[in-house]
């Protein structure tokens, strides 16, 4: 009896630009051997030397013609007929996007949705000893404009979010350009193509790895068979652990057509639950299904990896009001444990998807996990990522918020479009539903929000998709413990009030964009779950140098055209200027400017995490249950909101977020008591044309573990203008899985200088130059659990002489790569990097605030014998360190 044969069409691919004067079946000349599989046309053109690298300089502008052309791919393959096989099919996991498919000169498929899996049944007689598969890719860009002419121009983002016609074509929306990415209209067979021949096969397996309310595990397995089932006699179901030890097995006989639940196992005591990172181990198991003939020979087999867990999106009334009122929670509960979600938004890691290797996916997600993040949101303008992405999240314990692929637009809902979207959703829900990391399906990104903001959209047809089609698909296909579904992000209040901070999730863009508030207003701008917010910052100079590509010296300044080519944020000139001028001294030196933007991003974003995580205040007081920064990653070398750049080089903000999301963290809020009620806002603290009557400190601690922790709180206050210091300690207990308010006191300051001229007001205080450091020490061992420092703001008012010579000292342990940092005076934003060239160094921590008497140890993997380069506030231009 024949086994199922799977022939992935890996080799013998070629490509060419279509000649408009010749039938696609008569294209004989000009074929080029493909150098990659799966393939995208830009990658082939680049590898062949036909185009310049679009990621360098202004080269993006030189390749726009590609998206308007038509392209052909051809694959030749041999096939030997097995007379025992009765069925055949071709499976296309991803065609980008408009593609006519021909097998041996016969059209077998017309594809128009990049996100669908296409399965084409074949008559075995259509397969020859030598076969040709021809793919004809048409221009998605031109079709979008044709459809727009037929159906009308709709609202879709702004000029930096691609052409509005994009909403009519089911292609990754970021390909049309976004406010962090280039315009590169790709096409090609970007995911595998497989020929399958068989007599009987396993068409679908759905394992339900269930966990009861009491965390008791069980397993159900649903199986669908296809083909000539007379050849099949039984199914064998096996459950194995990570060591491949079989834990349970069962044989089930087959008769007639088959689409049924085949086993229902109670697995109490046999398996362990899967937990998100930080809460337990990521126990994973393999469900194997074998289709056997009467002789026990395997006709077909599948394996699916599962984890036993239950996840809930809890939206219930809060017990008490916060600054916004009462409202409801928006929190994730896994295996009965309510968890604060700290994480990032994900955009595709490259405009050329075929270049993202499994190793690169793992490197990105490991970076996220190692930054103490436990959730990633896959944004709705990209793609449904390949299996390796979700497999890696399962292994690392990273929860996945999965948007369906709609972003910032008024999408149509005519019958053909809805049918295409329904199949797209079914294909991807079926593919992803078994992953224990999957925590939420979400209907769209910002479509409800934008309709409300615009105020002039009379018809919003895609409501049918978000409120009928997608929840139907998710509910029907995800089983007895369904994956939660959320209509859109953001979505919440009455009448879709997507900015209501008391209901649902919010995207907080009134800092940087929107009303352009100062970042210190994040404390007033939160919500029940902040699923987007962010501040951009430049990548490190090594990345800037890459895209500058040897540009003329005249281009090496922050406001050059070439720097603008690699910054797509809307109105970035004005928005950067507002935040930069509020906080930092103006500079035209590019390296100094890069550092300042990074420190600005680091301070603003980590402050938001700090003040919003503070609002995870215990049962019934989960006022903010999650914070996801926009964004984790980049798709090309660019200035953006990413916390690590295209080359996986973390910006300072990555490290400051990690400290805020650690198991234990400590926060400080300084509230200035002003001498006039109408004085300037709090971000100016005690500088400017006014004085203060003092300041109040509030100190809190966060404990993400599920047990209380006894600790010692240590405050260390240092005046930058004198040698005055102040230290005090307090015994505290950090309550489990919440924030604990620890201390409230007047900010200490140095005594008034009797020799100084009188101030004219005895109430004026001297705290305007005081740095306040806080540490949490383990009560038993004295080990540092967490630290932070609150500095006077804005930084531009700090005297340079007080900052530039802090008595910094570094010591090195070549064997371990440990770098110990000490300072005689406070240091703000110390960024360490490696001297010279070579591979990137992986720093365990960076962007440090260093206080005297508190040495910090950083491990630098890959530093070797290279020296260390330092930059910090007051000495922003990176320079080699010398003890």
Active site residues: 446
User: What does the CA dihedral 588, 590, 593, 599 come to, rounded to 10 degrees?
Assistant: -170
On whether the CB atoms of residues 698 and 741 are closer than 8 A, the answer is: yes
Q: Give bridge partners of residue 774 from the DSSP assignment.
A: 715, 788
855 within 8 A of 820, measured Cβ to Cβ: yes
| Phi, psi (deg, nearest 5) at residue 199 | -100, -55
- What b-and-e string marks burial along 443-481, b requiring 16 or more CB atoms within 10 Å of the CB? bbbbbbbbbbeeeeeeebebbbbbeebbbebbeebbbee
CA dihedral defined by 469, 114, 427, 161, rounded to 10 degrees?
A: -50
Pairing of strands 259-266, 217-227: antiparallel
CA pair distance 710, 714, nearest whole angstrom: 13
State which H helix or E strand residue 770 sits in: strand 770-778
Q: Are 754 and 746 in contact (CB under 8 A)?
A: no
| Residue 262 phi, psi (nearest 5) | -105, -25
Q: What's the distance, Cα to Cα, between the start and end of the chain in Å?
A: 76
Residue 229's nearest CA partner among 89, 80, 87, 119 is 87
Tokens of 99: 């593609």
CB 680 within 8 A of CB 688: yes
- Alpha-carbon Rg for the chain, nearest whole angstrom, is 29
Give the separation between CA 473 and CA 11, rounded to whole angstroms: 36
Number of H helices, E strands in the chain: 13, 45
DSSP SS3 for 826: coil
Lookup: tokens for 426: 């079914």
Tokens of 232: 């099949």
Measured distance CA(67)–CA(71) in Å, rounded:
10
Joined tokens for residue 283: 């126990």
How wide is the angle at C-alpha 442 spanned by C-alphas 472 and 446, nearest 5°? 125
- In whole angstroms, give the CA distance from residue 422 to residue 419: 5
C-alpha distance from residue 663 to each of 319, 615, 701, 736, 794 (Å): 26, 16, 10, 10, 30
What are the E-state strand segments in 337-490? 337-339, 341-346, 375-378, 399-403, 438-442, 485-486
């Amino acid at each position: 009896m024949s086994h199922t044969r799977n022939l992935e069409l890996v080799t013998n691919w070629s490509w060419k630009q279509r000649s408009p004067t010749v039938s696609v079946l008569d294209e004989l000349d000009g074929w080029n051997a493909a150098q990659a599989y799966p393939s995208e046309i830009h990658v082939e053109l680049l590898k062949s030397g036909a185009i310049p690298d679009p990621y360098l300089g202004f080269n993006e502008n030189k390749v726009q013609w590609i998206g308007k052309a038509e392209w052909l791919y051809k694959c030749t393959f041999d096939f030997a007929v097995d007379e025992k096989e009765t069925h055949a099919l071709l499976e296309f996991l991803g065609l980008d996007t408009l593609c006519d498919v021909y097998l041996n000169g016969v059209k077998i498929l017309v594809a128009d949705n990049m996100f669908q899996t296409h399965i084409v049944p074949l008559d075995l007689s259509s397969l020859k000893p030598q076969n040709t598969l021809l793919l004809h890719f048409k221009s998605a860009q031109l079709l979008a404009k044709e459809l727009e002419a037929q159906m009308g121009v709709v609202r879709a983002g702004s000029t930096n979010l691609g052409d509005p016609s994009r909403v009519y074509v089911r292609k990754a929306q970021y390909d049309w350009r976004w406010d962090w990415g280039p315009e590169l209209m790709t096409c090609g067979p970007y995911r595998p193509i497989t020929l399958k021949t068989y007599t009987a096969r396993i068409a679908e397996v759905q394992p339900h790895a269930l966990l009861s309310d009491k965390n008791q595990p069980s397993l159900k397995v649903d199986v669908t068979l296809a083909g000539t089932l007379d050849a099949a006699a039984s199914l064998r179901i096996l459950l194995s652990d990570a060591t491949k030890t079989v834990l349970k097995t069962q044989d089930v006989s087959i008769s007639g057509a088959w689409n049924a639940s085949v086993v229902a196992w109670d697995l109490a005591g046999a398996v362990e639950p899967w937990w998100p990172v930080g809460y337990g181990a990521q126990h994973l198991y393999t469900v194997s299904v074998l289709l056997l003939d009467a002789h026990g020979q395997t006709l077909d087999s599948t394996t699916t990896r599962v984890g036993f867990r239950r996840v809930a999106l809890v939206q219930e009334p809060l017990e008490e009001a916060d600054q916004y009122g009462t409202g409801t929670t928006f929190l994730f509960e896994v295996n009965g444990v309510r968890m604060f979600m700290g994480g990032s938004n994900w955009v595709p890691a490259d405009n050329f998807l075929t270049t993202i290797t499994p190793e690169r996916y793992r490197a990105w997600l490991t970076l996220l996990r190692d930054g103490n993040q436990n959730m990633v949101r896959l944004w709705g303008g990209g793609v449904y990522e390949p299996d390796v992405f979700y497999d890696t999240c399962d292994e690392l314990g990273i929860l996945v918020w999965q948007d369906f692929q709609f972003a910032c637009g008024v999408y149509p809902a005519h019958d053909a479009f809805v049918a295409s979207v329904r199949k797209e959703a079914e294909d991807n829900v079926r593919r992803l539903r078994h992953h224990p990391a999957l925590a939420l399906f979400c209907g769209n990104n910002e479509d409800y929000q934008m309709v409300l903001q615009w105020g002039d959209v009379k018809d919003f047809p895609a409501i049918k998709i978000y409120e009928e089609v997608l929840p139907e698909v998710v509910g029907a296909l995800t089983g007895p413990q369904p994956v939660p579904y959320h209509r859109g992000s953001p979505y919440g209040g009455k009448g879709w009030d997507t900015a209501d901070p008391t209901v649902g999730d919010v995207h907080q863009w009134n800092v940087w964009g929107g009303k352009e508030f100062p970042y210190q207003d994040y404390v007033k701008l939160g919500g029940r779950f902040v699923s987007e917010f962010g501040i951009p910052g430049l990548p490190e100079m090594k990345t800037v140098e890459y895209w500058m590509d040897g540009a003329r010296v005249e281009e090496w300044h922050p406001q050059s055209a070439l720097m603008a080519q690699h910054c797509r944020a809307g109105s970035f000139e004005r928005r950067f200027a507002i935040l930069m001028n509020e906080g930092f001294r103006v500079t035209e030196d590019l390296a100094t400017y890069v550092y300042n933007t990074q420190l600005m991003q680091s301070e603003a974003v980590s402050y938001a995490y700090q003040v919003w995580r503070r609002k995870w205040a215990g049962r019934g007081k989960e006022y903010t249950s999650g914070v996801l920064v926009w964004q984790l990653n980049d798709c090309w070398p660019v200035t953006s909101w990413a916390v690590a750049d295209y080359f996986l080089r973390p910006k300072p903000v990555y490290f400051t977020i990690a400290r805020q999301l650690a198991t234990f963290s400590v926060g400080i809020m300084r509230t200035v008591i002003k001498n006039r009620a109408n004085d300037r806002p709090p971000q100016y603290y005690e500088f400017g044309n006014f004085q203060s009557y003092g300041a109040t400190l509030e100190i809190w601690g966060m404990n993400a573990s599920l047990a209380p922790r006894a600790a010692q709180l240590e405050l260390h206050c240092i005046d930058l203008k004198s040698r005055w210091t102040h230290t005090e300690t307090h015994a505290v207990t950090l309550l489990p899985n919440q924030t604990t308010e620890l201390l409230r006191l007047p900010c200490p300051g140095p005594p008034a200088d009797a020799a100084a001229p009188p101030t004219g007001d005895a109430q004026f205080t001297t705290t305007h130059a005081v740095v306040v450091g806080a540490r949490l020490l383990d009560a038993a061992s004295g080990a540092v659990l967490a630290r932070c420092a609150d500095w006077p703001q804005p930084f531009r008012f700090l005297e340079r002489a007080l900052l530039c010579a802090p008595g910094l000292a570094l010591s090195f342990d070549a064997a371990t790569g440990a770098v110990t940092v000490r300072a005689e005076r406070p240091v703000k934003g110390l960024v360490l990097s490696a001297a010279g060239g070579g591979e990137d160094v992986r720093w365990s921590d960076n962007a440090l605030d260093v206080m005297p008497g508190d040495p910090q140890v950083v491990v630098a993997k890959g530093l070797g014998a290279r020296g260390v380069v330092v930059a910090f506030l007051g000495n922003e231009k990176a320079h080699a360190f010398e003890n």
